[in-house]
Amino acid sequence: MPVEMGMWRIDGDTPKRLVTATLPSEATLEHYLEKDPSLLGERLLVIGRQVHTPHGKFIDLLAIDGEGNLHVLELKRDKTPRDVVAQVLDYGSWVSTLDRDSIIDIVNDHLGDVAFEAAFEEVFGTSPPDELNAALQLTIVATDLDTSSERIVTYLRTFGVPVNVVFFAYLEDDGRRYLARTWLAREDESETGGTAYAKTKKGKRAEWNGRDWFVSFGDDPVGRSWTDGLKYGFVSAGGDVWYSRSLRNLPLGARVNVHIPARGYVAVGEVVGRAERFDRARVNMDGVDVPLGDQPLAGTYLRAKPGEQETDEVGEWVVPVRWHVPVSAEQAYWAKGMFANQNSACKLRQEFTLERLAQHFGMGEVEAE
């Protein structure tokens, strides 16, 4: 049975049904969605309108969500049931093969002067995830749909095909215009009891150059201090094994790009020693290895209370680093779209960030393997 939407205005005790009108064209609806994709009920970054495919066809709208998943939006227009479903599946078969670099190239081609990473942060308030296109979503946009199309889409969803139909009704009332929206099926609903939008394949992660790591240094007025890290050549983390584990995994020779949360990047350096608990950590001062804990430190670090024993799980862990281009916290560098993460350390894959750090700190071209 075809989906039908109605809307009523309540005047006193009498509901008055609003008149369903006809959009000037479905291109108008496409324009509305491009300008405000939240009409679909989800925050999206529109990559482009009429995106060209290698097969000589054009996707009405291609978008990406905050988790890095692509959305293919295809308007029904005057297509037959077979054509509209076949077309969105055809586009989906191509989009599902796109790797991270291909996606970024498409975005940059359509956004012009705005880099993908900066556009992503503008919409979602964070840098893009390492993994893109892990779960594709296909959406047919229609003002009405026949029973045959509904039946086909519902059948495909039983096999986990991530396809759905969103309906828009265009209504008028006393000179005012309205859009109403409903979906053919709930997002979490499928005939098999699972979700048609589940992550069913491995996403496309950015390649790693085998050398660069992101390190978060929690500079805090009542905690660790970047002044110490800068002076004595180290990064540190602790308080729980969740914070220290990733830092302890930094290998010798790793290039670390140090970021202070809410400020920006303050240094690039090379790991020159194994991670040690703070009570055993040593740093190089004027060519001599000395205990870090014996130095006059500006910050305070997570250590056992007097009379208590240090533990690996809670204690502060220190990794010695030889700085190449360190700056003070006040000189931290940040550009919209750059990578940041809650982990104390992780592989830095984002080329956008590496390129800007290389340019800002004068390190030449980004090395890749």
| Distance separating alpha carbons of residues 5 and 20, to the nearest angstrom | 9
* 251 plus 327 within the same structural domain: yes
Mean pLDDT of 201-221: 82
Of 119 and 142, which is predicted with more confidence? 119
Question: Tokens 């093969």, residue?
Answer: 97
Range of lowest pLDDT (23-27, 175-179, 316-320): 23-27
Q: How many domains does the chain have?
A: 2
> Residues 154-174: what's their mean pLDDT?
86
* Domain final residue, candidates 174, 205, 236: 205
pLDDT reading at 197 higher than 70: no
Q: What pLDDT is stored for residue 200 in this prediction? A: 45
Task: Supply 311's token pair.
Answer: 């533990």
Encoded tokens for 88: 């969105």
Q: What residues have CB less than 8 Å from 139, skipping those under 6 apart?
A: 40, 71, 72, 73, 74, 88, 163, 164, 165, 166
Dist. CA 130–CA 152, nearest whole Å: 35
In a domain, 12, yes or no: yes
Predicted confidence at residue 151, as pLDDT, reads 87
- Cβ neighbors of 106 (< 8 A, separation 6 or more) are 47, 48, 51, 62, 98
Alpha-carbon gap, residue 300 to 109, rounded angstroms? 48
pLDDT for 239-277, tens place per residue?
888 888 899 989 999 999 999 999 999 999 999 999 999
- Neighbour count for residue 328 (Cβ, 10 Å): 11
- Give the pLDDT confidence score for residue 272 in this predicted structure: 94
- Rounded to an integer, the average pLDDT of 328-336 is 95
- Tell whether 150 is covered by a domain: yes
Confidence of residue 206 (pLDDT cuts 50, 70, 90): confident
**Phi–psi pair at 290, nearest 5 degrees:** -130, 155
* Single-letter amino acid code for the residue at 14: T
Mean of the per-residue pLDDT values of the chain: 85
User: Mind listing the pLDDT tens digit for each residue in 28-62?
Assistant: 888 888 988 888 888 899 999 999 999 889 999 99
Maximal C-alpha separation, the chain: 88
For residues 233 and 192, membership in a common domain is answered with: no
Look at residue 204 in the predicted model and tell me its pLDDT. 64
pLDDT value at residue 185: 78
The mean pLDDT of 106-120, rounded to a whole number, is 89
Distance, in Å, from the CA atom of 158 to the CA atom of 194, rounded to the nearest integer, reads 9
Per the CB < 8 A criterion, the answer to whether 327 and 227 are in contact is no
Q: How many CB atoms lie within 10 A of CB 164?
A: 21
Please, are residues 360 and 264 in contact by the beta-carbon 8 Å criterion? no
Domain that holds residue 318: 212-360
In a domain, 59, yes or no: yes
Residues 64 and 81 in one domain: yes
Domain co-membership, 61 together with 30:
yes
Whether the CB-CB separation of 88 and 162 falls below 8 Å is answered with no
Whose tokens are 């009409």? That residue is: 39
* CA–CA separation, 6 and 306 (whole Å): 71
CA angle 354, 360, 362 (to 5 degrees): 95
Angle at 220 between CA 215 and CA 224, to 5 degrees: 65
**Which domain CATH number covers 308?**
3.10.590
The domain that contains 45 carries what CATH number?
3.40.1350.10
| b/e map 347-358, b = 16+ CB within 10 Å | bbbbbbbbebbe
- pLDDT value of position 366: 45
What 3-state class would DSSP assign to 231?
Answer: helix
Residue 188 has pLDDT above 60, yes or no: no
For the segment 66-86, the average pLDDT, to the nearest whole number, is: 84
Please check the confidence at residue 117 and state whether its pLDDT lies above 80.
Answer: yes
DSSP state of 333: B
Whether residue 198 is found in the same domain as residue 228: no
Last residue within a domain, chosen from 185, 205, 225: 205
SS3 (DSSP) at 230:
helix
Residues 302 and 323 in one domain: yes
Which of these three, 205, 234, 258, is where a domain ends?
Answer: 205
Residues 72 and 197 in one domain: yes
Q: Which residues contact 86 (CB under 8 A, 6 or more apart)?
A: none
Same domain, 249 and 124: no
> Which pLDDT belongs to residue 187?
58
